[in-house]
Amino acid sequence: MTYSDIQGGYPGIGNMMEDPQFIDPVNRNYRLSAGSPVIDRGTPAGAPDDDLDGNHRPMGSGYDMGAYEFRPAPAGDLDSDNDVDGLDLYYFAVVYSNHTYPEADMNDDGLINADDVEQFAQNFGGR
């Protein structure tokens, strides 16, 4: 076994023993969070051309360990589930109304305004 993240550790080239930082393992979402130590730490040897979501590998500077390549969350993904959907719309409405979360500043201009709503609407319903 090589280039694997193994609880308890295991000797082998490229192996590691760290929290892989899955998005939501309790609900079986084993996609990688942005800070995951397994991003770009895999090997192309024996790896499939695409991950389980059908994304071509690699997506970054190297192959990621595991079944999924890391994909940065799209603008508007306020709940970090890699989709811009109804829950994000709810969060956005709350955020937009009280201006407390910088994540709602979709265009990074320091303001939360109609321009951000427009960009959110463009991303709504997908990646």
What is the residue extent of each domain of the chain?
A: 1-72, 86-123
Record the pTM: 0.61
* Full DSSP string of 85-121: -HHHHHHHHHHHHH---GGG-TT-SS--SHHHHHHHH
Q: Going residue by residue through the chain, which has 127 residues, state the pLDDT in tens, using 9 for 90 and above.
A: 999 999 999 999 999 999 999 988 998 989 998 889 999 999 999 999 999 989 899 988 999 999 999 988 777 787 767 778 888 877 777 766 555 566 677 788 877 777 777 777 777 766 5
Instruction: Calculate the average pLDDT of the chain.
Output: 84
> Which among 6, 10, 29, 31 is positioned nearest to 18, based on CA atoms?
6
Question: Which structure tokens are listed for 48?
Answer: 């499939």
Measured CA to CA, the distance from residue 42 to residue 64 in angstroms comes to: 5
Question: How much is the pLDDT for 102?
Answer: 67
